[in-house]
Structure 1
Amino acid sequence: MDNIIEVRDLVKVFDKEIRAVNGVSFDVKEGEIFGFLGPNGAGKSTTISMITTLLTPTSGKITIDGKDVVKSATQVRKTIGLVPQALTADDQLSGRENMQLQADLYDVPHDVAKERIEELLAIVKLQEAADRRVDTYSGGMRKRLELAEGLIHHPKILFLDEPTLGLDIQTREIIWEYITNIKKQSGMTVFLTTHYLEEAESLCDRIAIIDHGEIVVIGTPNELKASLGGDSIEIEVSESQECKNSLEKIPGIEAIEYKDGKYFLRTPNGDEVMEAVLAMIAEERWRIKNISLQKPSMNQVFLKYTGKSLRDDTTHMDKFAARTAAVQSRRRQ
């Protein structure tokens, strides 16, 4: 596949000292869902703001569909759709009126817009609520409306900045289904920033992990997990139980470590090795307290490349949800 986005040596400095993005380079292939994963303050939103023409880079080059983002910003904006992190729909207008407003901003002809609005409302299942004011919508309905608005002009690339932040898991899964269907039905390229590991793993063809303004690794979810070195088996043994010599005879075990009464095995094929280990336990009658097989996870990947667990960095999501609820409450007053 050809690259539809090319980013080279991208830098953004604020106040002459704060280097929010530090020499970022990557490509996004046409038709893929590309994930941008990173902790709060890693540079995700700054990078996506530069790619979508909302911020001017300090240095570096961004090309979208063959067009320079800085030199041809107006043309680039017609090529992309953006669903921002913050909710932007007008509470005092209906869902349909918000979509018509978005169509007008993109100069979509009225008759074409009318047809697209009905089509998109059906896709996000908002037909029955289309003529209600948005201040009566739930958080999930608002996100679905924002998603439909981002598609009104049939963009070649859809940017989703934390599209499910603050939503419950059931609503998140509904949004994930819409995003997957959009890609399948239209072949659209989707650029997704997220804090949710399961979101990145289930949706994205490739994932770039960014930390401290720099890309630390890029790959498919399977490639990233494989970089950890395979599956791991943990065997907790009774005191004085010696197992290493026997374990070394089992094919497929690449590394054996022992610490505090536990053996840690590393293997590229955990299922097969686990069967062999269990057979040996039965045959040699080892005294075992516990045994477990662990597959590589995206949280382990994140921990390896950033030095922290992304689960430790989710406090801001609760703050964001609370802040959004407060804004919506004030709007209704």
Structure 2
Amino acid sequence: MHAIKIRNLEKSFDGQTRVLKKINLSIPEGEIFGFLGPNGSGKTTTVRILNGLLSMSSGHAEILNNSVAENPEAVHRLCGVMTETAHSYRHLTTEQNLRFFGSMHEMEESLLSERIEYLISRLELREVREKKVQALSTGMKKRMSLAIALIHDPKVLFLDEPTSGLDPESARNVTRLIKNLATENKVTIFLCTHQLKYAEEICSLYGFIHEGELLGFGTFDELAALKQARVQLTIRGKSIPSNLGFVQSRDEVYTKHVSDDDEAGAMITAIVESGGKIFEAKQQKWTLEELYFMFIKNSFSEEEQDE
């Protein structure tokens, strides 16, 4: 089952300029989806539409078979949202905020109390549960905002830079929680971030958006295949046969692009069988950052051609 479906989604604020241009996405349950693009590319607009905070100009969007436009109340019950501008009540304590937002979801008192205890423990908020928000550090406010987003046990979670402002240990704990939510509870994560290395670590599915247009959507391997981003096999050795197609980059170092592990293994076997010596062999895949900028670069090239 797909948790999020978007078909030909468009948005214009003035009736002329489109800030979203026929966006199409289908995100299965339990995936961690990284929505990646520069500021002003349309990420926040898309999230606001999916949560019923903005109306779409045309197209269709649904959350777990509920139309965003026709059934916003069901969507609100199913979704949790944590943005960088998420607000809480600064004169209330951490626990009071959690209790208030839980009551907004009409949670039973016993279930709400149980959920509060779980989140305070899991997000390490125990030391600040009785402190007012205005006295919390940036990192603690971030963790509390995540707790608010999770208070009603949502099935789809929208996150905007969830680890920014956190110390390394807290960031690791939040990342572990996000992964567990996806793998154990089948919560679908819709992650907006500028941290490409972080997205590569945590996400299973990606979407590259630029100026309102979705440039690529799929797994890392699917996106890499679209750009023919082949793996580079690097051999450090001697007597490498010239007919295998390796390029000598420096003394005793040879490189060749291969399609997969099988081809890399075949190359290594061929070198050994021909009497060559291998001191070291390694494969180097493209990073998500390299892949992302390849899509963005191609987009700029197409724009220049159109002009």
Where do 5+ consecutive residues of structure 2 fail to align? Answer: 299-307
Structure 2 counterpart of 1:110: 109
Aligned length: 292
Structure 1 counterpart of 2:196: 197
Structure 1 counterpart of 2:175: 176
Structure 1 counterpart of 2:231: 231
Change in Cα spacing, 1:257 to 1:23, as seen in structure 2 (3 Å) is farther
Change in Cα spacing, 1:292 to 1:203, as seen in structure 2 (3 Å) is closer
Change in Cα spacing, 1:132 to 1:271, as seen in structure 2 (3 Å) is farther
Change in Cα spacing, 1:283 to 1:154, as seen in structure 2 (3 Å) is closer
Structure 2 distance, partners of 1:52, 1:174, is 26
Structure 2 counterpart of 1:247: 242
Which of 268, 276, 289 does residue 299 from structure 1 map onto? 289
The secondary structure found in structure 2 opposite 1:159 is strand
Structure 1 counterpart of 2:96: 97
Change in Cα spacing, 1:217 to 1:248, as seen in structure 2 (3 Å) is farther
Structure 1 counterpart of 2:303: none
Query: Deviation of residue 168 (structure 1)?
Result: 4.8
Query: Deviation of residue 233 (structure 1)?
Result: 4.8
**Contact 1:94/1:133 (8 A) holds in 2:** yes
Residues 144-180 of structure 1 show CA distances to partners (whole Å, capped at 9, x for unaligned) of 2111111111222111122223445444322211111
Structure 2 counterpart of 1:68: 67
Q: Which amino acid aligns with 2:188?
A: T
Task: Indicate the larger mover: 144-153 or 224-233.
Answer: 224-233
Change in Cα spacing, 1:27 to 1:283, as seen in structure 2 (3 Å) is closer
**Contact 1:225/1:297 (8 A) holds in 2:** no
Residues 11-61 of structure 1 show CA distances to partners (whole Å, capped at 9, x for unaligned) of 011223332111001111122222211222211111111011111101111
Give the alignment of 1:1-333 within 5 angstroms. 2-227=1-226, 228-233=228-233, 246-249=241-244, 265-267=256-258, 268-269=260-261, 272=265, 294-307=284-297
Structure 2 distance, partners of 1:185, 1:142, is 26
Query: Deviation of residue 113 (structure 1)?
Result: 1.4
Structure 1 distance, partners of 2:167, 2:272, is 43
**Contact 1:92/1:135 (8 A) holds in 2:** yes
Structure 1 distance, partners of 2:134, 2:116, is 19
**Contact 2:79/2:155 (8 A) holds in 1:** yes
Change in Cα spacing, 1:9 to 1:258, as seen in structure 2 (3 Å) is farther
Structure 2 distance, partners of 1:260, 1:60, is 54
Q: Identity of counterpart residues, as a percentage?
A: 30
Structure 2 counterpart of 1:315: none
Change in Cα spacing, 1:123 to 1:167, as seen in structure 2 (3 Å) is closer
**Contact 2:206/2:220 (8 A) holds in 1:** yes
Residues 225-271 of structure 1 show CA distances to partners (whole Å, capped at 9, x for unaligned) of 455432225799xxxxxx9xx4333xxx5xx6799999763113486
**Contact 1:5/1:65 (8 A) holds in 2:** yes
Structure 2 counterpart of 1:322: none
Structure 2 distance, partners of 1:10, 1:35, is 18
Structure 1 segments, 4+ long, off by >6 Å, are: 256-263, 276-280
The secondary structure found in structure 1 opposite 2:128 is coil
Where do 5+ consecutive residues of structure 1 fail to align? Answer: 237-242, 285-290, 309-333
Give the TM-score of the pair, scaled to structure 1.
0.76
Structure 1 distance, partners of 2:132, 2:22, is 44
Change in Cα spacing, 1:19 to 1:167, as seen in structure 2 (3 Å) is farther
Structure 1 distance, partners of 2:276, 2:64, is 62
Tell me how large the CA RMSD over aligned residues is.
3.3
Q: Which amino acid aligns with 1:230?
A: R
**Contact 1:37/1:193 (8 A) holds in 2:** yes
Structure 2 distance, partners of 1:26, 1:40, is 20
The secondary structure found in structure 2 opposite 1:49 is helix
Residues 85-105 of structure 1 show CA distances to partners (whole Å, capped at 9, x for unaligned) of 214122222110110111122
